[in-house]
């Protein structure tokens, strides 16, 4: 009987711990306000777009690590990277930085060095377009090499235009 009591107490303690942890996670979740203005909506949309872009890069890398990668999966993810790269410059309307969303990772340099940011975004678009061209073929070594080039072009913005994630 004492064993059942201990197991029940442990289950209750774990349940309470899980509920407290979940409540803490919800309290710290960065949810878009219901009355968000256009700049705030853009900041939240940008975050979702970058998640989609990151997912496509992850999908590419995961697939290319397999002994026999699926070219269909590679091509699909390369297409997502390319389409996201073309849209990326529209994700940064003025006022959509930390003033619109405190959790934003966009540095002020996105707007204060607009020419540099535009150049970096253009380089990323060029590399992503090359990736879709190479992925249309079947040379896995060339696809891997261009995936790296495209990733490096994407990452090229991070140091100057992206701050570390805020917790």
pLDDT at 47: 95
pLDDT at 113: 97
pLDDT at 50: 96
Q: Containing H/E element for 55?
A: helix 38-64
Q: Where are the domains of the chain?
A: 1-30, 37-161
pLDDT at 167: 60
pLDDT at residue 20 is higher than 50? no
Mean pLDDT over 42-46 rounds to 97
pLDDT at residue 12 is higher than 90? no
Percent of the chain whose predicted confidence (pLDDT) is above 90? 76
pLDDT at residue 87 is higher than 90? yes
Tens digit of pLDDT for each residue in 96-131? Answer: 999 999 999 999 999 999 999 999 999 999 999 999
DSSP-assigned letters across all residues of 90-158 = GG--TT-STTT-TT--B-THHHHTHHHHHHHHHHHHHHHHHHHHHHTS--HHHHHHHHHHHHHHHHTTH
**Coil, strand or helix: which one is 36?**
coil
pLDDT at residue 19 is higher than 50? no
pLDDT at 71: 98
Handedness of CA 75, 77, 83, 85 (dihedral sign): negative
Cβ–Cβ under 8 Å, residues 96 and 104: yes
pLDDT at 7: 43
Residue 92: which pLDDT band, with cuts at 50, 70 and 90? very high
Q: Which residue has the higher pLDDT, 30 or 124?
A: 124
Provide the CATH number for the domain formed by 37-161 in this structure.
1.20.120.10
């Amino acid at each position: 009987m004492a064993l059942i009591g201990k197991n029940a107490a442990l289950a209750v303690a774990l349940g309470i711990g899980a509920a407290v942890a979940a409540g803490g996670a919800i309290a710290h979740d960065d949810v878009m306000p219901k009355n968000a203005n256009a700049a705030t909506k853009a900041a939240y949309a940008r975050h979702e777009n970058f998640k989609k872009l990151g997912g496509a890069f992850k999908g590419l890398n995961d697939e290319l690590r397999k002994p026999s990668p699926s070219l269909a999966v590679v091509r699909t993810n390369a297409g997502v990277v390319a389409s996201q790269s073309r849209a990326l410059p529209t994700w940064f309307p003025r006022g959509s930085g930390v003033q619109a969303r405190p959790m934003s990772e966009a540095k002020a340099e996105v707007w204060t060095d607009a020419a540099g940011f535009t150049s970096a975004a253009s380089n990323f678009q060029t590399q992503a377009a090359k990736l879709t061209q190479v992925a249309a073929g079947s040379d896995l070594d060339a696809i891997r090499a261009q995936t790296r080039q495209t990733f490096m072009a994407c990452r090229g913005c991070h140091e100057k235009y992206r701050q570390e994630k805020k917790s």
